[in-house]
Structure 1
Amino acid sequence: MLLATVAVVGLRILADRYDRTMTRAELLDPTARADRTDRDGPLNYLLVGSDRRPDDTGPEQRTDTILMVHVPAGLREGYLVSVPRDLLVDIPPSAGYPGGKDKVNAAYEHGGGGEAGARLLSATLARLTGIRFDGAALVDFAGLRSVIDLLGGVTMCVRTEVRSIHTDRVFPPGCQRMDGAQALDYVRQRYDLPGGDYDRQTHQQQLLGAMLQRAGETRLRENPVQLHRLIQAVGGSLTVDTNGVPVEDLLLALRGLSTDALRGVQVPSYPQTIDQVSYVVLDNGGEGLFEAVRGTRMSQWAGAHPHWVTRL
C-alpha cells in the first residue's frame, strides 16, 4: 500500500510538471468534441504533427502527420490509425474558406494553421469518420529531436533500405539506434519506398512506439536533472486539448498501456490521379474501420484486416 501510494504521488508530481510546461488550446471543433460523461467507453485522440510551431503564421501550413489514437475500453491496448495526408475529403467551410474537396492535410492550411487549423482539421475528420475525439495534441515534430536525444536515441528496425532525399544518409536494413536528427530524417522519407507514403506512415507509427519503449527503458526517476530536461522538451513540443480532463487523470488511466499492446493501422485506401492531381481515396468506404473505431470492435476489425495492421 505504501509503495502504491508513493507511485501515485510521484505520478501526480510528474503530471503537474507536464501540465506546467504544455501549451493549452482549443484544438477540437465543437462538432468533433466527444461528450465525456461516459468515462467507461473507448478513448479516441487526434494527434497532428507539423514541422512548424503552432503559432507560426507563415505559408505552407499543411501538416504531414495525422494520427487517430484509439484506446478500447479497458485501456490495455491501443491503435495508431494513420490518415493519409493526400486523402480526398470534403472540408467544411470556415472563416475565409468556403469549403470544398481537397486533400485532408490542406484543412490545417485552409483553417489558418495553429489552433484554428487544427479545429478545421478535426471538423473535417469528424465529418468523414463520424468519430468524436476525447482530446487532441499538436506536435512539433522538429522539436521532438531534442526529446529523442535526451532519451539517448531510439531503436528503429529498418525493413528495406531507405535513402534520404534531404541528406546523404542511407538507412540499411536491420535494427539500429538513431539519434533525433537521424530518426526524424528517416520517418520523413516516402520516395523510392515500396509502399510510398504508406511506408512513411508505418515509420512514423514505429517512431512513436520506439520513443515510448525507450522512455520505459531509461531510469529517468534516478536522474532528476535529466527528467526535468525531458519534461521541458516534451512540453515544449506539444500543444494539447485534454477536453477538460486533468493530465494526471490521463496518465493514471493509461499507465497500464504497454508498447507491446500498440498496433499501427493504415486506412484502407488506394492512390488515384484526378484531373492530373495525385490523391488517395477510401477503399470501399474504409472497409468498416471508422465504425470499429467509433464502437467496440477494433480488435475484431484488426484480426479481419491484417494487411492494414502493423505490430510496432
Structure 2
Amino acid sequence: MVLGSMAPRRRWLLLGLAALAVIALVAAGAVVVTRLAGDNKPDGAAPTAGSPSASPPGTPTPSPTGPPAGADITGPLNLLLVGIDTRVSVPGWEPHADAVLVLHVPKGLGRAYLFSLPRDLLVDIPAFPKADYAGGRTKLTHAMSFGSRVPGKPKQPSTAQGYELLRSTVSGYTGLRIDAGAVLTFTGFDRLVNALGGVDIYVDQRVASLHRRPDGKYRESVPGGYTGPQMVYEKGNRHLNGWQALDYARQRYITGGDYARQRHQQQLIRALTRKILDEGLARQPERVDQVVAALGDTLLYVGGRRIVDLAYALGGVPEDRFVPVGLPGSGVGKGSAYRGEQLTSVGRGFITELRAGRAEPYLAAHPTLRVKT
C-alpha cells in the first residue's frame, strides 16, 4: 500500500472518508465481511467511465495523464453507511442492520448532509428473488437479514447480498439514488480510534453502558440482560479510546432511545473528522499509513467508483459545511401492538426537500433538526 506519493490533500480526504464510514457504523454489533463485493454496481448508480469495481480503501488510483481521478464527479452523491449485527456465534443467526445512515452531497459538492434512518422504521421491502424473498412491509433492519438468505445454504448468510436488498429498500423509501456504500467491523472502528490516539467528544447526557464494565471487560450475560459493574459516561467533555467510543455509540436504552443513539453517532463523526483536520494528518504520511493499515480488511466498500475517486471528489466540502441532521420519529402502536417507527411529517419533509435541493431553507425553518456537536 503506497500512500506517500499521494498529494497531502488527497491523503487527508481518503482518511476522512474512511473515518466517516467507521464512525457511522458503530451503533449496533459486529460486522463480519469476508470479501469485497466484486463488480456489482449499486441500483441506479451513476454511469462511470470503464468497469465499476470495489477496492480496499487504501488502493491508490494509478497516476493519470489527464485530470485527477474523481475530478469528473460533480454530484449529487449519496453514500449508504450501514452497521450490521451478525452474532455469528448464534446458530442460524442472520445479519441485521442496526445502524443505517445516508450521506448526501448535493451537486457542486460544496456541502454534505448526514442523516440516520431508525433501524425499526416501517418500510416497504421489495421482492428479492436471490433470497427467495417475496417482499413485504416491515422494519428496515430486516431488509439486511431477508436479503442475506442464500437458498440451500441456511447457515451461510451473505452480508453483501443482504446489503443489496437494504440498499434498494433505502433508495425506495428516500427516493435517492445510492451511488456507493460502506460496511465496517467493530474491530475496524476500535483500531481506527486507537490509531488516532482516541477522540474528544462532549457527552450530552449521562449514559450507562449495557455491555461494558469500567475496566472495558464485557459484563456477564444472564437471562434477561447483564449483570455486574457498568461503565458510565458522565455528561461533559470526555476523551474516549476505541472501545469506549464504540460502547458509547452503541447504547440505545437511554433517555431518547434509538434517536439519542443516532445523535451520538453523528456527534462522533464530527469529533473524529475534527481530530483528523486539527492534527494535520495530511502532513504526516506515516500516520496516514498507520491508520489505513490498521483498518486492514475490516472496511468493506461497494461502489461504481473507487473510494479514492470519491475521496478526491469530496475534497471541496469544508468541515463546517458537513451537516449532521436528526430526523424525529414516533412509534407505530404501543406495547404488544408496537409495529415499529415512523418519521414525523417534519422528518419526512426534510428528505423531500433534500431530494429537491432545498435542504438549507428547510433546516433554517426547522433549526432543531441540526445535530449539535
TM, length-normalised to structure 1: 0.84
Amino acid at match of 1:98: A
Do the aligned residues in 2 keep the contact of 1:28 with 1:119 (CA within 8 Å)? no
1:96 is matched with which residue?
132
Matched, 1:281 2:315: no
2:199 is matched with which residue?
154
Do the aligned residues in 1 keep the contact of 2:147 with 2:162 (CA within 8 Å)? yes
The Cα shift of 1:225 comes to 4.3
**Secondary structure in structure 2 of the residue aligned to 1:127:** helix
1:1-312 equivalent positions in 2, closer than 5 A: 9-10=7-8, 24-25=36-37, 31-35=43-47, 39-52=73-86, 59-94=93-128, 95-112=131-148, 113-167=158-212, 168-193=230-255, 195-220=256-281, 224-243=285-304, 245-273=305-333, 276-284=337-345, 286-312=347-373
The Cα shift of 1:9 comes to 3.7
- Pairwise CA RMSD of aligned residues? 3.3
The alpha-carbon distance between structure 1 residues 222 and 178, as it changes in their structure 2 partners (threshold 3 A), is: same
The alpha-carbon distance between structure 1 residues 34 and 53, as it changes in their structure 2 partners (threshold 3 A), is: farther
Do the aligned residues in 1 keep the contact of 2:125 with 2:143 (CA within 8 Å)? yes
The Cα shift of 1:235 comes to 4.7
Q: Distance in 2 between matches of 1:270 and 1:127?
A: 21
The alpha-carbon distance between structure 1 residues 261 and 283, as it changes in their structure 2 partners (threshold 3 A), is: same
Do the aligned residues in 2 keep the contact of 1:157 with 1:174 (CA within 8 Å)? yes
Do the aligned residues in 1 keep the contact of 2:267 with 2:371 (CA within 8 Å)? no
1:227-273: CA deviations, max 9, x gaps?
Answer: 32211223533211232x23333222222323322222123421222
**Secondary structure in structure 2 of the residue aligned to 1:287:** helix
The alpha-carbon distance between structure 1 residues 160 and 15, as it changes in their structure 2 partners (threshold 3 A), is: closer
Q: Distance in 2 between matches of 1:28 and 1:293?
A: 27
Q: Distance in 1 between matches of 2:353 and 2:127?
A: 28
Amino acid at match of 1:140: T
Question: How many residues are paired up?
Answer: 302
The Cα shift of 1:50 comes to 2.4
Larger helix proportion of the pair: 1
Q: Distance in 2 between matches of 1:156 and 1:16?
A: 22
Amino acid at match of 1:295: A
Amino acid at match of 1:180: G
Amino acid at match of 1:104: L
**Secondary structure in structure 2 of the residue aligned to 1:239:** strand
1:3 is matched with which residue?
none
The Cα shift of 1:61 comes to 0.7
Q: Distance in 2 between matches of 1:134 and 1:299?
A: 22
Do the aligned residues in 2 keep the contact of 1:148 with 1:154 (CA within 8 Å)? yes
The Cα shift of 1:133 comes to 1.3
Do the aligned residues in 2 keep the contact of 1:71 with 1:77 (CA within 8 Å)? yes
The Cα shift of 1:99 comes to 1.2
Amino acid at match of 1:107: A
Q: Distance in 2 between matches of 1:27 and 1:68?
A: 22
Q: Distance in 2 between matches of 1:81 and 1:61?
A: 22
The Cα shift of 1:179 comes to 0.2
Q: Distance in 2 between matches of 1:125 and 1:16?
A: 25
2:58 is matched with which residue?
none
Q: Distance in 2 between matches of 1:179 and 1:301?
A: 36
The alpha-carbon distance between structure 1 residues 287 and 220, as it changes in their structure 2 partners (threshold 3 A), is: closer
Do the aligned residues in 2 keep the contact of 1:29 with 1:120 (CA within 8 Å)? no
Do the aligned residues in 2 keep the contact of 1:68 with 1:80 (CA within 8 Å)? yes
Do the aligned residues in 2 keep the contact of 1:11 with 1:248 (CA within 8 Å)? no
Q: Distance in 2 between matches of 1:248 and 1:236?
A: 16
**Secondary structure in structure 1 of the residue aligned to 2:316:** coil
Amino acid at match of 2:208: R
5+ unaligned residues in a row in structure 1: which ranges?
1-5
The Cα shift of 1:91 comes to 0.8
Amino acid at match of 2:313: A
**Secondary structure in structure 1 of the residue aligned to 2:333:** strand
The Cα shift of 1:63 comes to 1.6
The Cα shift of 1:27 comes to 9.4
The Cα shift of 1:166 comes to 0.9
Structure 1 vs Structure 2: percent identity of aligned residues?
35
Q: Distance in 2 between matches of 1:235 and 1:261?
A: 30
